[in-house]
Amino acid sequence: METRSIAIDGPSGAGKSTLARMTAQKRGIIYVDTGALYRSVGLYALRRGVGSKDEPGVTALLPEIELEMKYGDAGDLRVLLCGEDVTEEIRIPEASIYASDVSALPAVRAFLLQTQRDMAVRGDVIMDGRDIGTVVLPNAGVKIFLTAQPEIRARRRYDELIAAGRAVTYDDVLRDINYRDKNDSSRAAAPLKAAEDAVVFDTTELDLNESFLRLIELIDEGLSAKGEIRYKDDAAI
Ligand code: DC
């Protein structure tokens, strides 16, 4: 059976993963968090003491890296790095910076490209990242570019980290968001940008629930424009 995909791209902290997870749950499709793959590569380099911008060093590590994503008992997405569950550890701030740095390396992007595409052929997916609509799944049924002002994204990420018991300050989080925005948008390899056929969706003024309702509408509009709607839930025909 041919599978169909939803691509969600955008900067750090725009709410991609939360909204993509909610959409996947509502629609009974698979969620693929591609940032988690970059984070895992970053974490691997960090643990091995290889600098995040050391291109030959990071490239040499790639053949050792095995990545897998699976759903845990609670229905949550787990990331396995060489068999070890690193789902929580890849969220630490050092891993965020490392992920952003290693994701600028063409060898890392090439290494993860096939992994991501393989994940999209197993069934209908919603995949989030930075270059899903532009590079990974150029034929996605619908492409959304999710964004919000940096201060709002930093506030949301800060609240999330504090709720998870992390000792961070708002200023650190904003600095991290600004660093990654600049890094992710200015790199030569697959920079963060909206695909030409993406719908740009700014959630600055919306809360999570409002964002979710609007996102579902945008997805349905996009898919029905292509004659691709065939979901199970009530919202779809
Ligand atoms: O979505 P995230 O914050 O977990 O992603 C971590 C880093 O990985 C981010 O700074 C940029 C990079 N990334 C990427 O370059 N391409 C993707 N498809 C996903 C993430």
Q: Is the dihedral of CA 120, 124, 128, 134 positive or negative?
A: positive
* pLDDT digit string, tens, across residues 61-91: 999 999 999 888 887 889 999 999 999 999 8
**Domain contains 150:** yes
Q: Is the dihedral of CA 105, 111, 117, 123 positive or negative?
A: negative
Query: What average pLDDT is seen over the chain?
Result: 91
Domain CATH code at residue 82: 3.40.50.300
> What does the pLDDT average to over 200-215?
96
Q: Which atom of ligand 1 is nearest to the CA of 180?
A: 10
Give the total number of structural domains in the chain: 1
**Domain contains 85:** yes
CA distance 232 to 237: 8
Tokens of 202: 């700014």
pLDDT of residue 237: 37
Tokens of 89: 């550890």
- Contact indicator for 178, 96 with CB cutoff of 8 Å: no
Is pLDDT at 233 greater than 60 in this prediction? no
**Domain contains 236:** no
Tokens of 5: 């995909």
**Domain contains 233:** no
**Domain contains 232:** no
pLDDT of residue 231: 57
CA distance 205 to 55: 40
**Domain contains 170:** yes
**Domain contains 192:** yes
Q: Is 211 in the pocket of ligand 1 (CB under 6 A)?
A: no
* pLDDT digit string, tens, across residues 24-73: 999 989 999 999 999 999 999 999 999 999 999 999 999 999 999 988 88
pLDDT of residue 229: 62
CA distance 9 to 144: 6
pLDDT of residue 71: 85
* pLDDT digit string, tens, across residues 7-28: 999 998 899 999 999 999 999 8
**Domain contains 230:** no
Tell me how far the alpha carbon of residue 116 lies from the centroid of ligand 1, in angstroms: 13
> What does the pLDDT average to over 212-228?
89
Boundaries of domain holding 121: 5-225
- Contact indicator for 120, 127 with CB cutoff of 8 Å: yes
Mutational test site, ligand 1, from 33, 103, 132, 180, max ligand atoms within 8 Å of CB? 103
Q: In what order do the strands lie in the sheet with 199-202?
A: 30-33, 125-129, 5-9, 142-147, 199-202
pLDDT of residue 226: 77
pLDDT of residue 230: 60
